[in-house]
Amino acid sequence: MNASIENRNEAQMIASILAGNTHEFHTLIQPYERSVYSMALSMLQNEADAEDAAQEAFLKAFRNLDKFRGEAKFSTWLISITLNEARSRLRHKKTAKTDSLDELTEGGHVSPALLRDWREIPSEALERQEVRLLLQDAITDLPVIYREVFVLRDMEYLSVNQSAEALGISVAAAKVRLHRARLMLQKRLAPELKRVMPKRRWLPWF
Amino acid sequence: MVLECKHVWEHISGYLDGNLDAAVLEEVQKHLEHCEICSAILDSTRNILILTADERVFELPLGFSERLHARLEAEMQGFSYGAAAAGDEGDT
Ligand SMILES: [Zn+2]
């Protein structure tokens, strides 16, 4: 795979940036612009906050690049900076009410939506703004502890172990939260997506 | 041992991530073969994961990249590593 080539190039780029070629940082972060932004948006629920948090995360990464340890992947390091940035903003704007809601749902039980037939994926669905908004709303409405693990695992493709590590929780806790997050989304989105998607536009998913 | 639907639901994530014990996996698979509701739940969950992983869900705002790089450019003026030790610690 070219993952190791990418890693090596990144390591070289980082060494060069630290040696004074700071402008290479522009190139270094290019592949991550979208995922840092989407992570911030899914955490913060509004575009202006998300852009600001994403910018701040990249600035922090730049300023602290000399503290980056090469044994972690640069992307993982960047993710944890972004996560911290988003979390500290959430702490500032969060009300006591949402705090206690998050705590309450930790022990809760989630049942999925009981659909009888869904064999297809509406792959053209994302061309519709309406569907994108449904997805965005559903993700950003998840309580924080579920939103975080869902974003890391299912949107940023970290492994469950990496997600647990980034969140500072046990692997078992990460699995439980991830499962609940997925079922919460299924419960909410499956009926909504069925309703807004005309059947004839659905494509088989294999 | 025959699994009930609600027990199958508990294994949906493990099933999707491919990390169920062999014995549990076999029971779940057996159940899914004859239970329309559980297989629809599995399919819809998987489909939602595929949809939300799509880059189009959270698109970059227009001009995002330009604004970001302009801010970085300003930051880079006169910046040097080591000299900034008193600066932001970051919490990684
Ligand atoms: Zn069933």
Between the CA of B3 and the centroid of ligand 1 the distance, in Å, is: 8
Residues, chain B: 92
Give the pLDDT score at B78. 84
- Which letter, b or e, does each residue of B15-53 get, where b requires 16 or more Cβ atoms within 10 Å of its Cβ? bbbeebeeebeebbeebbeebebbbbbbbbbbbbbebbe
Closest residue, chain A, to B16 (C-alpha): A179
Question: Is the minimum CB–CB distance between A185 and chain B shorter than 8 Å?
Answer: yes
Token digits of residue A132: 């994108």
Q: What percent of chain A has pLDDT over 90?
A: 56
Beta strands in A36-98 (DSSP E): none
Mean pLDDT of A183-188: 95
In tens, the pLDDT along A75-133 reads: 989 999 999 999 999 888 765 445 544 544 555 678 888 877 766 666 666 677 888 88
> Do residue B92 and residue A67 have CB atoms under 8 angstroms apart?
yes
Distance from CA of B22 to the nearest CA of A (A): 18
CB distance A189 to A146 below 8 Å: no
Facing residue for A126 by CB, picked from B57, B80, B88: B57
pLDDT of residue B46 exceeding 50, the answer is: yes
Give the pLDDT score at A21. 94
Which of A166 and A52 is assigned the larger pLDDT?
A: A52
In tens, the pLDDT along A127-161 reads: 778 888 899 999 999 999 999 999 999 998 899 99
Distance from CA of A156 to the nearest CA of B (A): 8
Give the pLDDT score at B34. 92
Token digits of residue A57: 């995360």
Give the pLDDT score at A146. 95
Query: Which residues sit opposite A121 in a β-bridge?
Result: A203
Between the CA of B9 and the centroid of ligand 1 the distance, in Å, is: 8
Give the span between the Cα atoms of A38 and A44, in whole angstroms. Answer: 10
Give the pLDDT score at B58. 86
Give the pLDDT score at A195. 76
Q: Which residues of chain B neighbour A186 with C-beta distances below 8 Å?
A: 41, 44-45, 48
Give the pLDDT score at B92. 45
Distance from CA of A80 to the nearest CA of B (A): 7
CB distance A76 to A28 below 8 Å: no
Q: Which residues 9-48 of chain A have a CB within 8 Å of chain B?
A: 18, 20, 22-23, 25-26, 33-34, 37-38, 41-42, 47
Which of A114 and B65 is assigned the larger pLDDT?
A: B65
Q: State yes or no: ipTM above 0.90.
A: no
Q: Read off the pLDDT band of A198 (50, 70, 90).
A: low
In tens, the pLDDT along A30-73 reads: 999 999 999 999 898 889 999 999 999 999 999 999 999 877 78
Between the alpha carbon of residue A94 and those of residues A46, A88, B7, B31, B40, the distances in Å are 14, 10, 35, 43, 36
Between the alpha carbon of residue A183 and those of residues A62, A110, A134, B10, the distances in Å are 37, 7, 16, 9
DSSP state letter for A151 = I
Which of A184, A153, A172 has the alpha carbon at shortest distance from A79? A153
User: Residue for token digits 């992570």?
Assistant: A39
